[in-house]
Amino acid sequence: MPDVTIGQWVTDAALSPDGTRVAIRTYSAVFFFRVGGNGTLAPDEDRACLVTDLEPQGEGVTWLDDRRLLLTSEAARTSAGPLHVLECRTH
């Protein structure tokens, strides 16, 4: 039986340029956390992005600036790995 939780596996994480947020990438989404004064992470409930429409199995994430992310994924035998710029809006 397939593992239905595979889309929830963490594939990468990146600290924002100002050091106040962390973007955590799974195969199917990007979740955001605020960095506390003691280094703990608290979920930023207002921000999350589903990315399954961009990539079926995403891998990497990094910040371009304080609001945009660069997403990467693996190359296939017949194509280069995709790059996507993503801006997640608050709800």
pTM recorded for the entire structure: 0.80
pLDDT tens digits along 10-30: 999 999 999 999 999 988 888
Residue 7: pLDDT over 90 = no
pLDDT tens digits along 50-61: 776 776 677 899
Domain ranges of the chain: 4-87
pLDDT tens digits along 31-70: 999 999 888 999 987 777 777 677 667 789 999 998 899 9
CA distances from 81 to 31, 47, 60, 62, 70 (A): 22, 26, 11, 15, 13
